[in-house]
Amino acid sequence: MSTLRILGTALVLTLSAPLTLSARASDPEPVVTPVMLKDLADLPGKEMLMLTVEYPPGAVEHIHRHDAYAFVYVLEGTIVEQVRGGKEVTLTPGQTFYEGPGDVHTVGRNASMTKPAKFVVVLVKKIGVDAVLPAE
């Protein structure tokens, strides 16, 4: 995998950040860090993108979608997640969450106003499609 491709993905995520970040300018913003990007040879046209996401205390995301299979694994802290039509869930270290390509991510926030939270996201998506998209 090329360094240029990873840097390009980081740039896309940075430019997409206003779509997924805090509801108000004063709210703390999630920190998204690309970890790995890999074409999936057995799934033509698909790639895997691995990210870490850090929610500072009180961080809240805007409604968004991924157009991907998204697998979340909580490393530290407590996060609250929900997709449209699903139940809101509170997750702690070692717990997981799933979003499908048609899901709209309606809730994403740190459950704590005093402690950070961190999780890993693995996305299986179409090559070249932005990782974060506006909800329709």
Q: Please, are residues 48 and 129 in contact by the beta-carbon 8 Å criterion?
A: no
Could you read off the pLDDT tens digit of each residue along the chain, which spans 136 residues? 454 455 455 444 544 444 444 345 567 889 999 999 999 999 999 999 999 999 999 999 999 999 999 999 999 999 999 999 999 999 999 999 999 999 999 999 999 999 999 999 999 999 999 999 998 7
- pTM above the 0.95 mark? no
What span, in angstroms and rounded, lies between the C-alpha atoms of 72 and 117?
13
